[in-house]
Structure 1
């Protein structure tokens, strides 16, 4: 589990098979490397990867074919730009953003990025798999960054976020051009609510179907109710 607060920038390099080398480039990068151990989880552009081998300034991890298909890690342009890095949340640690699982739901594209007096206003597209979890003032993870939805236009399948200068300059949002792809993860709370409502509605329908339309005294006697 992560919080969407980026701790460092890195680069990714494909190795043989499904292995990837992730190198920290932010100095100092002790926040990522100081307690890193084999088997730890690291969010790489919002993708939860498991550390298999520790290097001097990074680590090696494996990305499954499903991960490559669903995320930007499988795109060549990602291998030529910086990625956001965040170590997993420790018990007792600060939750500065929101609960981010590192399970990317799909990809969106940057539509535009405009600087204002106090922030960067960025508009992204969102496929249906993510759009149903987007609500104004709700949380969303973009390349692993915890951000708040400022506006949502369902007819265009687009949403807007306001990014403060600190977040913009310390993450890879500054390197993404219009048309560039990003990883999106919807708020886990929305997913559980959706599941609960879906199962709840099914239970109600099933219960309703087992109740006769007309319960009469004769019906009760027939079924043992005296």
Structure 2
């Protein structure tokens, strides 16, 4: 579990078939001092496991499924990636709950500066990700916890407003129009969706008619 608050940026190298090596900018970064074998690390929003510790980084294995669903298989050697260590019990949750399990990919459409924020818009051709994008909902873009400012009814387009510190301390300035990004919707929406599917299939039984759209709206969902 992660929060979407990026702790560092690293550089990516392909160390072998199904393996990635992440290098930190400095050998004294706090993430390195606290890292152990088997730890979970979010790399551009993708939960990976630390398999080998290096003096200035770590090596992680990547499955074919992860390469197919995320951007990792497309990133060239030396690309910058966002890094976040897993949330610890009692730790601060400044963003939102992020699992590191990417729903799908989107593509940067435009990026422009407006007053004290950057406005980024994205297209989302992947319906698996688009279905969880709602106005003012939480979205993780390459592991960065952000809020949807506006979106189309289907979720196949959305925009976010990014404050300067988030823009400067993550890989967002490196994105180019058309470039793919990893998207993960809010986990709350996924559970609500599953409960509603179960409700629909059980609607013929009055005893099971306890969850509805009206019920969710009444209780603040």
Give the TM-score normalised by the residue count of structure 1: 0.87
What is the match of residue 55 of structure 2?
56
What is the match of residue 20 of structure 2?
20
What is the match of residue 153 of structure 1?
152
Contact 2:130–2:154 (CA under 8 A) maintained in structure 1: no
Which aligned pairs between 1:1-226 and structure 2 lie closer than 5 A?
Answer: 1-25=1-25, 29-30=29-30, 32-77=31-76, 79-126=77-124, 127-154=126-153, 157-205=156-204, 207=205
| Structure 1 stretches of at least 4 aligned residues deviating more than 6 Å after TM superposition | none
**TM-aligned CA distance change 1:198 to 1:34, over 3 Å:** same
Contact 1:9–1:26 (CA under 8 A) maintained in structure 2: no
Q: CA deviation at 1:56?
A: 0.9
Write the deviation string for residues 179-203 of structure 1: whole angstroms up to 9, x where unpaired. 1110000110000000000011111
Q: How many residues align?
A: 205
Contact 1:10–1:83 (CA under 8 A) maintained in structure 2: yes
Q: CA deviation at 1:132?
A: 1.3
Q: CA deviation at 1:28?
A: 5.4
**Cα root mean square deviation, aligned:** 1.5
**TM-aligned CA distance change 1:106 to 1:156, over 3 Å:** closer
Q: CA deviation at 1:26?
A: 5.9
**TM-aligned CA distance change 1:28 to 1:56, over 3 Å:** closer
User: Higher helix share goes to which structure?
Assistant: 1
Write the deviation string for residues 148-168 of structure 1: whole angstroms up to 9, x where unpaired. 000002368210000000000
State the alpha-carbon separation in 1 of the partners of residues 195 and 154 from structure 2: 26
What is the match of residue 221 of structure 1?
none
Give the TM-score normalised by the residue count of structure 2: 0.89
State the alpha-carbon separation in 2 of the partners of residues 53 and 81 from structure 1: 20
State the alpha-carbon separation in 2 of the partners of residues 28 and 158 from structure 1: 40
State the alpha-carbon separation in 2 of the partners of residues 28 and 195 from structure 1: 44
Q: CA deviation at 1:104?
A: 0.4
Report the structure number with the largest CA radius of gyration: 1
Q: CA deviation at 1:46?
A: 0.2
State the alpha-carbon separation in 1 of the partners of residues 167 and 155 from structure 2: 25
Unaligned runs of 5+ in 2: 207-221
